Structure 1
């Protein structure tokens, strides 16, 4: 919420209540609490976090503190970064990075990108990834698993050309 607070100027307590209300609306009246003695489940908390992540991407909120969210729901956050082409480290405009090597000289327009793990990284972080490698990059940015597979529909929507067999 600190990124949204810096972007919007809204008080943190107001933002918390706003997202709790959004959760109640989305779940048809179910309430959530993140207190230690709560009856809310981890799935409930994940749904609330997903609402916050969706808001960040829908309103293009700069995500200076975005990647610390990853251990909570890493795959969803990485998917949203790819979907909106925002760097998962700094939030700037991103390239799509292939975690699984594509190989030199291959025509990327003829690959089935649904079979590869992908991430969204700005040019600076994309270059750094290739310079220091997967393990050091993940360690530096506290990533537990970099890269997710994305369906053909999403890849087509973000303009990634490829040979998508089966349309998945």
Structure 2
């Protein structure tokens, strides 16, 4: 049994620790009486249990897609990440051995690798432990649903375009976007944009002209016309 508690107060060699919800206090007392209770202190800027959980979930996704074992995948990822950010030694996922910021970089690296190679995600909660905007931007350019990772998803406008307006004449760089499969796009319409973003912890992103051309939302001709107006 392992949990992260918060030091509330102390006096002399005694201290009071706030135990998080969900743990059986009777079990904690029982283990304490058996001499099995160990208190370990760690820095705030250290890898979290949630980050480790998400890392191994991603390793599991790669295992399912490639057929390689988790040990092989884990070793490959850590060595490549080590070379990528010029670490001097093999990175450890143990508490106090990796900073939280470095763990976020590791997750971003693994997620980007999955997106580039078309490896589907079974869970999306890892968004909460990384640079979310960067992740969602990468998913959008690959047209992968922000919620379930389904390919060939739809680019969703956050701001209402308005009925009767020709989307080909709109400067889409002034708008914000999300990406969703048909199912989640319909959910967004059903519950409303604000509720949808709150439910999935999303913040919409903007796209530059180059991105908009790649996604087919704007033509190169229209972009050149708008750029000419801005210069003029």
- TM-score, normalization by structure 1: 0.84
Task: Select which of 68, 80, 83 maps to 1:10.
Answer: 68
Matched, 1:148 2:205: yes
**In 1, Cα distance between equivalents of 2:168 and 2:80:** 40
Question: Helix, strand or coil for the counterpart of 2:155?
Answer: strand
Report the alpha carbon displacement of residue 41 of structure 1 after superposing the two structures with TM: 4.7
CA shift in 2, pair 1:30/1:151, >3 Å: farther
Q: 1:34 — aligned with what?
A: 93
**In 2, Cα distance between equivalents of 1:39 and 1:49:** 13
Q: 2:40 — aligned with what?
A: none
Residue correspondences, number = 163
Cα displacement string for residues 61-114 of structure 1 (whole angstroms, at most 9, x for unaligned residues): 12221x212112321221011110111112222110012222222221122222
Q: 1:160 — aligned with what?
A: 217
**In 1, Cα distance between equivalents of 2:75 and 2:118:** 21
Task: Select which of 138, 156, 160 maps to 1:80.
Answer: 138
Report the alpha carbon displacement of residue 46 of structure 1 after superposing the two structures with TM: 2.4
Matched, 1:133 2:187: no
Question: Helix, strand or coil for the counterpart of 1:119?
Answer: strand
Matched, 1:95 2:141: no
Runs of 4+ off more than 6 Å: none
- 8 Å Cα contact 1:23-1:30 kept in structure 2: no
Q: 1:69 — aligned with what?
A: 126
- TM-score, normalization by structure 2: 0.63
Q: 1:50 — aligned with what?
A: 108
Give the greater-gyration-radius structure (CA): 2
Aligned Cα root-mean-square deviation (Å):
2.2
**In 2, Cα distance between equivalents of 1:57 and 1:40:** 24
